[in-house]
């Protein structure tokens, strides 16, 4: 697949690198320096290059939106028309000091994003694990008992692409339902952050859902 990375920081930089290592064609975009984007592309050791947000979105099978909530409008503006595009978002609607969600209960960041980009196939994914675990999970790529990663969205084709990318980085995708379920997955992301950064386990923390049958 061709995946455009809109926001090449902790999340976008790591996930883009792993998508490239898994064989996808990746365009890194949206950082404060072009040098950083070029370095990421070089270090990815796969089919990766640096580009503008518009170039990242052009002809992409999916884009990954990975910016602070305050930068969403700017990156969308720079990316251009995402109508009809599979838009994976790991962005959380955090306040400026990253202490809490600015929206919730009756909506979610993912749903608000879907309103901003009409007809985009928005899938909420990747935000329920700290970025620090991605390389470890990819390296392990366990066959059994893989860590889970929940995702949700309203478009079946978009969700299929998300599930493939989730598997490619070593997680077991768990379909949590329609996009409105992001109202619950976004707070789950805060819980994971709390456990990862304030708890004793450190940021190398993933999770696994297990079904118990009687
Ligand atoms: N980090 C996590 O573990 C984690 C976990 C779950 C969800 N999330 C969510 O994922 C999203 C991304 O988080 P992150 O930790 O990856 O953030 P980040 O490291 O700050 O990355 C954001 C990217 O946006 C770029 N950027 C910021 N301001 C810019 C500007 N004015 N012009 C151009 N580029 C600019 C940054 O550039 P530079 O690279 O130059 O700084 C960086 O590449 C957030 O919504 C966050 O809530 C993060």
Structure confidence by residue, pLDDT tens digits, 60-92: 999 999 999 999 999 999 999 999 999 999 999
The Cβ of residue 35 has, within 10 Å, a number of other Cβ atoms equal to 10
Alpha-carbon span 146 to 77, nearest angstrom: 37
The more confident residue out of 43 and 213 is 43
Average pLDDT over residues 95-123: 94
Distance CA(194)–CA(34), nearest Å, equals: 32
Q: What is the pTM of this model?
A: 0.97
- Percent of the chain's residues with pLDDT above 70: 100
- 36 CB within 6 A, ligand 1: yes
Q: Tokens 């009687």 sit at which residue? A: 214
CA distance 8 to 125: 16
What three-state secondary structure class fits 135? helix
Beta strands in the chain (DSSP E): 2-6, 25-29, 48-50, 62-65, 86-89, 121-124, 148-153, 172-175
- 213, two tokens: 């049958």
Residue 214 has pLDDT above 80, yes or no: no
In the numeric block, which tokens belong to residue 68?
């602070």
The Cα 92–Cα 191 span in angstroms is 13
Kindly state if the Cβ of 32 falls inside 6 Å of ligand 1: yes
143 pLDDT exceeds 90?
no
The angle at the Cα of 183, spanning 213 to 60, to the nearest 5 degrees, equals 95
Going by C-beta distance under 8 Å and a sequence separation of 6 or more, which residues neighbour residue 22?
Answer: 46, 138, 168, 169
Q: What is the pLDDT of residue 210?
A: 92
Q: Is the CB of 92 under 6 A from ligand 1?
A: yes
Question: 31: CA distance to ligand 1 center in Å?
Answer: 8
From the CB of 90, is ligand 1 less than 6 Å away?
yes
How close is the Cα of 67 to the center of ligand 1, in Å? 4
In a 13 Å sphere around the CA of 162, the CA atoms on its Cβ side amount to 32
Q: Which two tokens stand for residue 212?
A: 């118990």
């Amino acid at each position: 697949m061709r995946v455009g990375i809109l926001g090449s920081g902790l999340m976008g930089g790591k996930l883009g690198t792993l998508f490239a290592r898994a064989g996808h064609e990746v365009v890194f975009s949206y950082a404060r320096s072009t040098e950083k984007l070029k370095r990421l592309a070089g270090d990815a050791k796969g089919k990766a290059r640096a580009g503008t947000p518009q170039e990242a979105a052009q002809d992409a099978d999916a884009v990954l939106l990975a910016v602070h909530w305050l930068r969403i409008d700017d990156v969308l503006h720079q990316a251009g028309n995402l109508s009809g595009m599979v838009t994976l978002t790991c962005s959380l609607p955090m306040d400026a000091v990253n202490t809490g969600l600015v929206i919730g209960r009756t909506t979610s960041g993912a749903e608000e994003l879907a309103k901003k980009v009409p007809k985009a196939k928005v899938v909420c994914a990747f935000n329920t694990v700290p970025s620090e675990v991605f390389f470890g999970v990819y390296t392990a790529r366990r066959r059994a008992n893989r860590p889970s990663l929940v995702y949700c969205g309203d478009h079946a084709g978009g969700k299929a692409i998300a599930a493939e990318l989730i598997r490619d980085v070593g997680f077991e995708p768990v379909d949590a339902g329609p996009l409105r379920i992001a109202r619950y997955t976004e707070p789950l992301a805060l819980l994971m952050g709390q456990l990862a950064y304030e708890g004793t386990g450190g940021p190398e923390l993933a999770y696994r859902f297990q079904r118990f049958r009687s």
